[in-house]
Amino acid sequence: MLFVAPALALIAAFLVFPALWTLYLGVLKYDLAGSNAAAPQFVGLGNYRDALTDPRFANSLLLTVAFVGLSAVLGQNVLGFLLAAVLRDAASWVRGVVNAVVLLAWILPGTVVVFLWQALLDRGGGTLNALLGTPGAAWTLDHPLATIVAFNIWRGTAFSMLLYSAALGAVPRSQLETARTYGAGPLRTLRDVVLPHIRGHVLTNTLLITLWTFNDFAPYMLTGGGPDHRSETLPVYVYRTSIEGGALGYGSAISLIMLIVNLAIALFYLRLLRRRSA
Amino acid sequence: MGSRPVATVGALAVACLVLGGCVSAKHAAGAGDPQRNADAKHATLTISTNAISGGKNAQEADWITKELIPAFEKAEKAKGRNVTVNYQANGIDDAKYGEKLELSLKAGGGPDLFVVGGDSIATYAAAGYIAPLDKVVGGEANSWTGWKQVDAAVKKNVSMNGRYYAVPNGVDGRVLYYNKKLFVKAGLPADWQPTSWADILAAGRKLATLSGVTPIQINAGTPMAEATTMQGFLPLLAGAGAEIYDAKAKKYQGDTKAVRDVLSFYRTLYRGAKLGDPRLQQDPNGRDESFTEFSQGKLGIIGESDYLWRSVVCPTKSVCNATAMPDRNSTVGYAMIPAERPGSGVGGQDFVSMSGGGGFTINPHTKYPQQAWDLLTFMRSATQIKAQLGSTVQITANKQVNDEILARDPALKFIADKVIPITRFRPSEEHYTSVGALIEEATGQVVAGKPVDEVAKAYQQGVVKLVGADHVSSN
């Protein structure tokens, strides 16, 4: 017990305390300016009631589910796996180049990446419009969700690719050979030979990228949550209500709801993982 | 052992809940003794504004760092006081700057001197971020000789309950700017003054015949933030005969006829007659893009403050950068904003405007209130005001300076003489900023195509939730 005490103290200071503090702020009418900044009022579960009845919150939750589902669970997962699978048998210099390019997208600071994407998507002189010959197409305004989904796939695929590269290395070549000898097609091989070996990796990877994407704030820098809240995922919603709108208490209540959703997601995956190992 | 820290923190949180206001304790102290540290051998002061050398409001940043600070430090030295002044430069969106400032004030820090807008005084004061100047620095705040040079309306804009909260910088006014070359091409008079909203739309319809030209830009939507309310909604609302807040009745405009009229005008503009570009209202950089379009002759009419004339399309490249218009004086026309119909404006006016402007104030938590007051009055002396302007012209809060400089610029003179006398200010009420956000949302929804009645109803609900049904009028 004595040995884990420092760790527990750290957890208490940096995880438990902020969570409880958020819980506390969430029951207040507490604003960035105005009289509720000086003397917050206790409103009990009022903020939670407001959030759960606010169509903007529902919209935001739906968008977040779509954003996570399309860009992380499907996009990064599938693309990362495909890259890893293709690169496994590729020449080493091809692997090196592709690895470097994909990793670059991952290691660059978010603000830099967003700046590049703004230059890419700009409706006046953007690179994409120049390439496609579609001057004036406003990608971020007409397809805000698709924009942030594509952005997040591009940005985050590297992690899945790295993880799956390592995982695929653990699939014995002899089993793949055997499958091929017996005439199994690529899909069949994937299902019966590869997946059973890497199921744990798939779950762990999906858990991590789901949580990261769920809490990702980068979309704000690209679309500002707009137009008309059409790319306002939960982290963006929290920022816009609590900082731009100055409703710190309300923002805290939503943050706590997000925390609970995060916990639920984590528990869900951990349960799947445990079932596998049992 | 492991659960003890958790339990302690939990107990603390519960104690907060029971006692109430753990988060507010810091601000309860308020301003202390105005004479504290008045005799300090060495004092350090910080000024913050949203300006940066080589970028946003470069003129102001250069003035502060190159002229004001050296001159002030020298003057203090002559008095035997050692004062160092630091400048915090920023070059970001006004709304983002406001958030940054509020967060630092909320954390109990913030600069010693900063600018507060007239519309933010009530909400900042309620939060304890600012206090009456006579409380912060003492009675000399009221007896300052400079007040004699300040216009009554401008004084009112930085006061609340008869007490000064800031020393004003100046005042601005809103007009409709138009491109004379485009007007002539479209068969419209180069000397244009609409007398109703219908006149504006009629001119827009003619401009629509020109290819590659967006006829009208009246700001809407959330990305433009306060530019939506000040340049768009509020002048229109004044033209429909209402002010957003009735200080006597203590009521905000809810789902009223005036509000619906304004929203209907937006609908006609952006959806019905398609005379404006909805994209500009949705784009996070829409306001800057509208400036670029106007400076390139791609936009016919734009509702803006004198800021556009002074700092966006001025002929001087070093001040206005990419949007500078060398031919501004011959190409850009300006007209007063008409009421919905002649005589339908607030107070029975034919023409309307909105004015903003704020002033420098002193952080109540400053360590050196007397030195800060010295700096504040020093920077608002006629000499420093003129140094701040350089070769540019602006309506300052100093009558004597205005008399000297306004003759140099006919557009500013027009605004000072014709617009300021009929203008209105935003209410000094602590919920105004939040009501403003609801207005931005409502105009954005109309531009996106939602029916006016539905939007007005949702807006009304939002305001009622904010201030209570007793403080909202609807008809």
Query: What is the domain range of residue B232?
Result: 174-354
Q: How far apart are the first and last CA of chain B?
A: 64
Confidence of residue B15 (pLDDT cuts 50, 70, 90): low
DSSP one-letter code for B34: T
Q: Are residues A40 and A68 in the same domain?
A: no
CA gap B289, B343 in Å, rounded: 34
Question: What token pair was written down for A4?
Answer: 């884990």
Ordered DSSP codes for B263-311: HHHHHIIIIIS--S-HHHHHSTTHHHHHHHHHHTT-EEEEEEEHHIIII
Look at residue A187 in the predicted model and tell me its pLDDT. 86
- Where residue B202 sits, what CATH number does that domain have? 3.40.190.10
pLDDT score of B18 more than 60: no
Q: Are residues A118 and A36 in the same domain?
A: no
Look at residue A190 in the predicted model and tell me its pLDDT. 87
Question: What token pair was written down for B434?
Answer: 């939040």
Look at residue A278 in the predicted model and tell me its pLDDT. 52
The pTM of the full predicted model, rounded to 2 decimals, is 0.87
Q: Are residues A45 and A65 in the same domain?
A: no
Q: Are residues A49 and A81 in the same domain?
A: no
Query: A78-92, A145-159, B11-25, B234-248: which range is least confident on average?
Result: B11-25
- Residues of chain B found within 8 Å of residue A2, distances taken between Cβ atoms: 1
In this complex, do A243 and B99 lie within 8 Å of one another by their Cβ atoms?
A: yes
Q: How far is CA B184 from CA B48, B187, B325, B337, B461, in A?
A: 45, 5, 18, 20, 45
Q: Is residue A219 part of a domain?
A: yes
Q: Is residue A148 part of a domain?
A: yes
Q: Is residue B104 part of a domain?
A: yes
Q: Are residues A259 and A175 in the same domain?
A: no
* Alpha carbon A257 to chain centroid, angstroms: 17
Look at residue B14 in the predicted model and tell me its pLDDT. 52
Helix (H) or strand (E) holding B447: helix B432-447
* d(CA A90, nearest CA chain B) in Å: 43
Q: Are residues B56 and B92 in the same domain?
A: yes
Confidence of residue B2 (pLDDT cuts 50, 70, 90): very low
Q: Are residues A59 and A32 in the same domain?
A: no
CA gap B377, B141 in Å, rounded: 9
pLDDT score of B90 more than 80: yes
Interface of B with A in 398-457 (CB under 8 A): 430-431, 433-434, 437, 444-445, 448
CA gap A126, A118 in Å, rounded: 8
Query: What is the domain range of residue A203?
Result: 55-228
How many other CB atoms are there within 10 angstroms of residue A3's CB atom?
A: 6
Look at residue B7 in the predicted model and tell me its pLDDT. 52
Q: Are residues B156 and B183 in the same domain?
A: no
Nearest Cβ partner of A138 from B9, B128, B279? B279
Ordered DSSP codes for B134-183: HHHT-THHHH-GGGGGS-HHHHHHTEETTEE-SEE-B---EEEEEEHHHH
CB contact at 8 A, B95 and A244: yes
Phi, psi of B35 (to 5 degrees): -90, 5
pLDDT score of A16 more than 70: yes
- pLDDT above 70 covers a percentage of chain B that reads 93
In this complex, do B120 and A17 lie within 8 Å of one another by their Cβ atoms?
A: no
In this complex, do B2 and A1 lie within 8 Å of one another by their Cβ atoms?
A: yes
Q: Is residue A271 part of a domain?
A: yes
How many other CB atoms are there within 10 angstroms of residue A94's CB atom?
A: 12
Summarised one tens digit per residue, pLDDT across range B170-196 is 999 999 999 999 999 999 999 999 999
In this complex, do A226 and B284 lie within 8 Å of one another by their Cβ atoms?
A: yes
Query: Residue A153 corresponds to which amino acid?
Result: I
Q: Are residues A104 and A223 in the same domain?
A: yes
Q: Are residues A147 and A72 in the same domain?
A: yes
Q: Is residue B300 part of a domain?
A: yes
**Which are the contacts of B217, defined by CB distance < 8 A and separation ≥ 6?**
B276, B277, B280, B290, B293, B294, B299, B301, B302, B303
Summarised one tens digit per residue, pLDDT across range A86-111 is 998 888 899 899 989 988 988 999 89
The mean pLDDT value for A238-266 works out to 93
In this complex, do A246 and B17 lie within 8 Å of one another by their Cβ atoms?
A: no
Q: Are residues B83 and B112 in the same domain?
A: yes
pLDDT score of B1 more than 50: no
Question: What token pair was written down for B122?
Answer: 């009530």
Q: Are residues B51 and B94 in the same domain?
A: yes
Look at residue A135 in the predicted model and tell me its pLDDT. 85
Look at residue A1 in the predicted model and tell me its pLDDT. 73
- Residues of chain B found within 8 Å of residue A246, distances taken between Cβ atoms: 102, 433-434
Report the DSSP beta bridge partners of residue B174.
B305
Q: Is residue A109 part of a domain?
A: yes
pLDDT score of B134 more than 70: yes
Look at residue B11 in the predicted model and tell me its pLDDT. 55
Look at residue B317 in the predicted model and tell me its pLDDT. 85
Residue A10, chain B, CB below 8 Å: the answer is: no
- Residues of chain B found within 8 Å of residue A23, distances taken between Cβ atoms: 13
Look at residue B3 in the predicted model and tell me its pLDDT. 44
pLDDT score of B73 more than 60: yes
pLDDT score of B61 more than 60: yes
Q: Are residues A83 and A186 in the same domain?
A: yes
Q: Enter the ipTM.
A: 0.84
Look at residue B56 in the predicted model and tell me its pLDDT. 83
CA gap B38, A158 in Å, rounded: 60
* d(CA B240, nearest CA chain A) in Å: 26
Place of tokens 């409103």: A43
Nearest Cβ partner of A39 from B24, B223, B437? B24
Mean pLDDT score of chain B: 91
Question: What token pair was written down for B332?
Answer: 């850009």
| Count: domains in chain A | 2
Look at residue B8 in the predicted model and tell me its pLDDT. 53
Q: Is residue A79 part of a domain?
A: yes
Q: Are residues B247 and B349 in the same domain?
A: yes
- Residues of chain B found within 8 Å of residue A250, distances taken between Cβ atoms: none
Q: Is residue A45 part of a domain?
A: yes
In this complex, do B433 and A246 lie within 8 Å of one another by their Cβ atoms?
A: yes
Instruction: Tell me, letter by letter, the H, E, C secondary structure of B359-417.
Output: EEEECCCCCCHHHHHHHHHHHCCHHHHHHHHCCCCCCECCHHHHHHHHHHCHHHHHHHH
Q: Are residues A36 and A159 in the same domain?
A: no
In this complex, do A34 and B222 lie within 8 Å of one another by their Cβ atoms?
A: no
Q: Are residues B238 and B106 in the same domain?
A: no
Q: Is residue B311 part of a domain?
A: yes
pLDDT score of B19 more than 50: no
Q: How far is CA B59 from CA B239, B254, B288, B388, in A?
A: 34, 41, 19, 7
Q: Are residues B130 and B245 in the same domain?
A: no
The mean pLDDT value for A1-27 works out to 90
Report the DSSP beta bridge partners of residue B236.
none
Confidence of residue B27 (pLDDT cuts 50, 70, 90): very low
Report the DSSP beta bridge partners of residue B87.
B47
∠ Cα B287 B291 B296 (to 5°): 145
∠ Cα B352 B353 B357 (to 5°): 160
Instruction: Tell me, letter by letter, the H, E, C secondary structure of chain A.
Output: CCCCHHHHHHHHHHHHHHHHHHHHHHCEECECCCHHHHCCEECCCHHHHHHHHCHHHHHHHHHHHHHHHHHHHHHHHHHHHHHHHHHHCCCHHHHHHHHHHHHHHHHCCHHHHHHHHHHHHCCCCCHHHHHHCCCCCCHHHHCHHHHHHHHHHHHHHHHHHHHHHHHHHCCCHHHHHHHHHCCCCHHHHHHHHHHHHHHHHHHHHHHHHHHHHHCCCHHHHHHCCCCCCCCCCHHHHHHHHHHHCCEHHHHHHHHHHHHHHHHHHHHHHHHHHHHHHC
Confidence of residue B23 (pLDDT cuts 50, 70, 90): low
Nearest CA-CA partner of B28 in B38, B19, B36? B19
Summarised one tens digit per residue, pLDDT across range B47-57 is 999 999 887 88
Mean pLDDT score of chain A: 91
Q: Are residues A41 and A113 in the same domain?
A: no
Q: Is residue A11 part of a domain?
A: no
pLDDT score of B29 more than 60: no
| Count: domains in chain B | 2
Q: Is residue B470 part of a domain?
A: no
| Preceding omega of B315 cis (within 30 degrees of 0) | no
Q: Are residues B379 and B335 in the same domain?
A: no
Summarised one tens digit per residue, pLDDT across range A200-227 is 999 999 999 999 999 999 999 999 888 9
Look at residue B25 in the predicted model and tell me its pLDDT. 42
Summarised one tens digit per residue, pLDDT across range B432-467 is 989 999 999 999 999 999 999 999 999 999 999 999
pLDDT score of B351 more than 90: yes
CB contact at 8 A, B321 and B236: no
- Could you list the beta-strand ranges (E) of B310-376: 332-335, 337-338, 351-355, 358-362
CA gap B43, B56 in Å, rounded: 29
CB contact at 8 A, A48 and A26: yes
A4 versus B351: which is more confidently predicted?
Answer: B351
Place of tokens 């997208």: A105
Q: Are residues B347 and B248 in the same domain?
A: yes
Look at residue B472 in the predicted model and tell me its pLDDT. 96
- Residues of chain B found within 8 Å of residue A21, distances taken between Cβ atoms: 13
